[in-house]
Every structure is written in structure tokens, then in C-alpha cells.
Structure 1
Amino acid sequence: MKKTGTELTGVKEIARRANVSIGTVDRVIHNRKGVSEDTKKKINAIIEEMNFRPNKMASLLASRKILNFAILIPAVSDETDYWSYPLNGIKQAADEIRQFGVTVQYYFYDLNSKSSFHKAADELLKNEPDAVLMAPSFVEDSMAFVKRILELELPLVFINSDLPGQPGLTYIGPELYQSGMLAAQLISLAIQKQDKILTVNISTDLENNHHLLRKERGFKSFFESSGNTNRIITLHINDTKFDTAEKVLLHELTAEPAIKAIFVTNSRVNVIAGILAKHKQTDILLVGYDFLKKNIDYLITGQITFLICQRPKEQGYLGVMALYKHLFKISGVEKSTYMPIDIITKENYRFYNG
């Protein structure tokens, strides 16, 4: 591969000072065999003295190392297209690093099925990847999977949600607790002292969706720490079908007519918005997550007041690039990268590029 003028000059100067050939310097730079330890030490000392940094692209291409990254994330479903966004970011990164011999394989699971998670995880391990990116759900099952990954000493990146206490290369996603606190602050500015607030968790397996519970804890802690007297009611909807969610929500709203604000802890806020719209309840402030088409449609009509967005495409992209940088020793990787917490309204959604 043709080197840049600056790099060629550097390699020439190193070879001159060490009294060796340019080829010998190149072998040391790319850690190839055929150079004695004494010569290697001499050349490395000169490299350090000159503060020489070889062209990273040339180094990667010269290494010719083939690596396989495994991606374990939920599948896009009829209920939500949220996971299409991280997937798009992952694919963008995969396209960029393909030239360096990196292949990316995808393993999808159903958010409503633990068995599908186990099947995807087992298939992933059978194919012996060099690194893993995962979006964890089903806490106990994910922790068991992570244990197997760490036993194999594979670099592991979490996106969208981390697993508390579980080591990995890095976590890239929202600060879940602070995200919940932000939602509480938005609602607190728009309600009266006598109003009640409903937090809604829509999940078939809430105990294993700890990221929803951490948002809820952050939400409640804001009101507790601020001395706010509004009563907060929690509603768990463990059947994500519209008809079932409608029945459960209407029962709660009938029993608690003072509810004037609803906080939905995930992207299924459009389900609640659809129920409120169907029953012409337009006096309830509604806050939820993610820049999805269904959510934007209800944001435009005013049924959803605020959307909190976490840049899922960027999460996917940065997750793959973290593995790439780590394995090719391009740069260090931070233990966590928290996404900005974006607040989207019907007035600014057209300009959002998150």
C-alpha cells in the first residue's frame, strides 16, 4: 500500500537512525516476524523518541486480520419499529469498517419471548465471534449470557440499556435514571397541586425490563426530592395488545378521575395516545419515548405532549465503532457514553436529526 509523504519520510528517518532497511522498520511497526529482539528494541526506541505515529489505515490494511462482530438485539416488530434505528446505525458502521476485514453477523430475538433470546444467544456463541454488541433484555437470562461471553474473554458492548454490576467494554445509551427525572420535571411544570400522575410500564415481562423500572425510579425521585405533593400511581400493562391495554387504562382513569398526566416509560407511548384519542380524552398531558412515526403522528395532533429521545441510531453506530477501535487498538474506549436527552415537541420535530 502506498504510504503518505509524511509517513514515508518518518520511516526513512527511523531506518537511517537505526541503520536498517525500510522493510525492517515496516516489520517492526506492523509487529511481523523476522526481526531480532535487539533490533526491535532499537527501532521502537527511535519511534518513541521521534513520537512517530504510523498511518492507522495503512496499519489496519497491512494486518489483514479478519474479525467477526456479533450483534444481539431485539427484532423489529409490528408493535414498535424502534429497533430499526439502532440497526441502521449498526449497518452504517459495518459498511465503514468492512474494508478492514470486519464482518458483522446479526442475531435477533423477540422481546416477548425468552426462548427466542436463548435461541439467538446459543446460535451466536456457536459461531465463535471475536466481539459482541448486545441490547440486553430479560435480566437474568442476559446476565447468564454475559457470563459466558466474559468466560470466553470477548469484548462486549451494551447499547440502549446496561446490566447493573456486569462488566463490559462499554455502555452506550441513555442515563436511565436521569431520563426519568427529566420526564418528571416536564410534567411538574404543567400540572396543578391536586392533579394525580400515572406512570405506565408496558411490558410482557416487567421484572426483566429493569431499564423501565430505573426510569420510573428516577421519575418518582424527582417528586420526592422536590417536596411535590402530587400523588403518583403506577400501572403495569403486561399485555401489549391494544384492546387489553385499552381495558386496563380506562379502568384506571375511571377509578382515578384526577389523573391529568401520564408518563410512559418506553416507546409504546403511542398505544396510550391511541386509547386517549379514541375516547376523546384531550386534557391529559402525555410524555413518552422515541422518535418513531406512530409517536410523531400523535405528537403532531397534540395527543402526545413531549417525546424524550435517546438517539438510537447513534447508539448502534458508536457501539460497533467502540469494538472496532478496541480490537484494532486505534484508541481507548470510555466505560460509558451517555446519549444526550432530547426533548421533542410538535414545534421542533421537523428539525430533529437524532
Structure 2
Amino acid sequence: MIRIKDIAKEANVSEGTVDRVLHNRGGVSSKTEAKIRKILERRNYSINPVASALAMKNKYNVAVLIPEYEDTDLFWKSPYLGILKASDEVKNIGIHVNYFKFNQYDPASYLKSFEALLETEPAAVIFAPMFLNETKKITTQLEAISIPYMFLNIDIEGFNNLTYIGQDSYTSGYIAGKLMLLGMEKDSKILIIQSREHAGDNTAISKRIQGFNSFFKDNHTEIESITLKIEDLNNTSKTEQNIKDCLASNDSISGIFIPSSRTAVIVDCLNGNNGFKIIGFDNTPQNVERLKHDDISFLISQKPFEQGYESIRLMSDYLLKSKVPNDKVYLPIDILIKENVVYNDMNQLMFENAISED
């Protein structure tokens, strides 16, 4: 009988890579997937439904629902890779993970993916509560059928989630304020750019802004902040003009705070830094590149790879060991500068290298 181990050896990849291809879980290059599928076809390999059913008898299906990522906004790739790594590790102890994605700007896509998720009859759900009203509908359905759920990356109060895992958004904003004040003149102004269409639904963004403003209030500074809301970052020319108009009417602005992962987009609309002290969030490839060239002063990382990884580990412990996590599981707040950014998120880099080699 042909085993996964035999297929992996012939393809010169790990068993986990073959398993991901068999169950369409992603995380495998198209070239490697094609090679594996060719071997599977040649060896007439197929999943035995009876054996599969027996293997799953005492196992738990965990469903994950997070936004899809794209080349222009790679933030959600990191949690996905963390989830993928943890999924490979827990599959042998009775946890099977199904991954569902949605458009982070489309509430209908969020609900549609959740309905597909429910069809897998999950024992537990991990998701990013991106839209408030739709999240209420989702949690109502989950609670009605007694399915435990965990919030990932975005923390919303007033729900019965098992836990929240992610960054302390308020504190990260407070830290950003402290960094912004360093070396700033008394009569300076700060521009806060909200760069997301549904910023009001993303409490992580609003809490960062609250923390940022609280720092200046607590320290009785005379520095004034101005908020510019941009609805559609994909409209580059309009975004560039909006920022240009705002800066023209406020010539004392010396710092720019961007409480989202789209910092590089804003920098590009400025045609470079132009002498502004810019603080943003997340070490996406685009942001890191601008940081290395001094177009961004500081990036604050929320450890997204670890968020995804730890969410699976915590839920596995809950299902298998009845181990209840803390109400909040906060990850470290890393302050990144061009000199240390290459050392950040080494776990993700090693995992990406491993699966790319497969």
C-alpha cells in the first residue's frame, strides 16, 4: 500500500507538504504541488474514505476565518503562515484545521465565508471579527449551537469569545505617541491618517489612535493632532491629492502617524519621506523596504505570525485538555528600526524557507 511517507520521499518533500496538497490547504508552491499531484496520479494514490473516517473519529475540526491577502497588502499572509505551521504540528494529536478567507472590505464576503465554514461542522472557530454587525450575527449562530470561538488580531468587547489573541492595541498606540514626541518641536502638528474604508469597525485601529492621543494628553504637551480620513487607498491619485491638500493647509506638520499596515502606500503618496517623522504598523515587505531607506522612522510589529500560530495551539489545548486560556493573550509589542528589522519574525522566515524548499 502506498503511504504519504512514500509519496513525500519520492517528491523529496516533507509529509506535511504532501498532506497540504491532498487536503488543498495551500502553502505549497505551484511547481511543488504539480510535482506531487503528478506522482499521486502515477501511483494511483487516493484517500481511503473508510480509513479517513476512522482516523477522524476522535479528532476535532477547527475552522479559521481571516481576511485574504494580496500583493499590495500582505499583512494577513503572516497569520495564515503561522496557522499553517501550527496546523502541521497538531494534526497528529487530533486537530484538523480548515482555513476560510474573506474580503476585508466586504461584509457580505465575511458572512458568505462563515456560512461555508459552518458546513464543515467545526468543533471550534478562530476568526478576525472585522465587521461589528456581522460579527454579532456570527457569534449568535455559534453560541446557539455551542461552538466555542476565539478572536484573532481584533479585540471587540461584549462578546463571549473564549479569548482574544493579538496586540494590546491601546498600549501600542501609546508607545507610538511616546516615539513621536522624541525630538519634536513644541509648536509641531501631527497628522493622523486613517487609511481604511471601514475603520470604524476595526477596533484595533481606533484603540491605537486612542492610545496615541492619550499619551499626549497625559503628558500635557502642546502638540496638536489633525486627522485625515482616506476612504480608498487604491485610488492613488486621489489619495495623493488629499494628503497634499492637507499638508498645504497645515504647514506645521512634522510627524505622521498611520495606525495600520498601509504605511508604505502613504509614503509613496508623499513621493518619499520629505523630512516627516513617520510611524506606522507591521513589517510587511513594503513597509520594511521603506524603513530601510529611512522613509519610515519606526514600525510597530504586532507579531502576526505568532498570532496565527498561538491561536491554533491555544485552541488545541482547550479541545484536547480542557485548558481554558486567559481572557486576553497579548503578544509582545516590537519597535522596529532599520537596524533591527532583519532580525524580526525569524520564525516566519524559517518556515517560509522550509515550505519554499519543499
Residue of structure 1 in register with 2:323 after alignment: 331
Pairwise CA distance, 1:325: 0.2
Residue of structure 2 in register with 1:145 after alignment: 138
Pairwise CA distance, 1:312: 0.4
Residue of structure 2 in register with 1:161 after alignment: 154
Q: 2:341 aligns with which of 325, 331, 349?
A: 349
Give yes or no for contact 1:157–1:169 (8 Å, CA) kept in 2: yes
Pairwise CA distance, 1:330: 6.0
The alignment-based identity, stated in percent, is 32
Pairwise CA distance, 1:63: 10
Larger Rg: 1
Q: 2:268 aligns with which of 263, 274, 278?
A: 274
Q: 2:226 aligns with which of 233, 254, 260?
A: 233
1:107 aligns with 2:97: no
1:84 aligns with 2:81: no
Pairwise CA distance, 1:338: 0.5
Residue of structure 2 in register with 1:208 after alignment: 201
1:93 aligns with 2:108: no
SS in 1 for 2:155: coil
Shift in CA distance, 156/222, structure 1 to aligned 2, threshold 3 Å? same
Residue of structure 2 in register with 1:42 after alignment: none
CA distance in 1, matches of 2:239, 2:139: 33
Give yes or no for contact 1:159–1:171 (8 Å, CA) kept in 2: yes
- CA deviations 1:299-344 (Å, max 9, x no partner) are 0110000000010010001101111000101634222110111000
SS in 2 for 1:260: strand
CA distance in 2, matches of 1:161, 1:301: 30
Residue of structure 2 in register with 1:19 after alignment: none
What's the TM-score, normalizing by structure 2? Answer: 0.78
Higher RCO (CA-CA < 8 Å; seq separation 6+): 2
What's the TM-score, normalizing by structure 1? Answer: 0.79
CA distance in 1, matches of 2:295, 2:277: 8
SS in 2 for 1:129: coil
1:247 aligns with 2:241: yes
SS in 1 for 2:309: helix
Give yes or no for contact 1:309–1:341 (8 Å, CA) kept in 2: yes
1:263 aligns with 2:266: no
SS in 2 for 1:328: helix
SS in 1 for 2:105: coil
CA distance in 2, matches of 1:151, 1:303: 50
Question: Match of 1:335, as an amino acid?
Answer: D
Give yes or no for contact 2:154–2:202 (8 Å, CA) kept in 1: no
- CA deviations 1:55-77 (Å, max 9, x no partner) are xxxxxx99951211100000012
CA distance in 1, matches of 2:115, 2:323: 31
- CA deviations 1:242-300 (Å, max 9, x no partner) are 22221211111111111100010110011111122x2x552100000011110011001
Pairwise CA distance, 1:159: 1.2
1:175 aligns with 2:168: yes
CA distance in 1, matches of 2:278, 2:165: 27
Q: 1:220 aligns with which of 198, 213, 218?
A: 213
Give yes or no for contact 1:139–1:210 (8 Å, CA) kept in 2: no
The CA RMSD over aligned residues, in Å, is 1.7
Structure 1 gap ranges (5+): 1-60
Task: Name which of structure 1's ranges 227-236 and 123-132 shifts more when overlaid on structure 2.
Answer: 123-132
Task: Name which of structure 1's ranges 94-103 and 289-298 shifts more when overlaid on structure 2.
Answer: 94-103
Give yes or no for contact 1:73–1:109 (8 Å, CA) kept in 2: yes
Give yes or no for contact 2:191–2:227 (8 Å, CA) kept in 1: yes
CA distance in 1, matches of 2:133, 2:207: 16
Listed as ranges, the matches of 1:272-311 within 5 Å are 272-276=266-270, 278=271, 280-311=272-303
CA distance in 2, matches of 1:63, 1:136: 29
Q: 1:191 aligns with which of 164, 184, 189?
A: 184
Shift in CA distance, 281/168, structure 1 to aligned 2, threshold 3 Å? closer
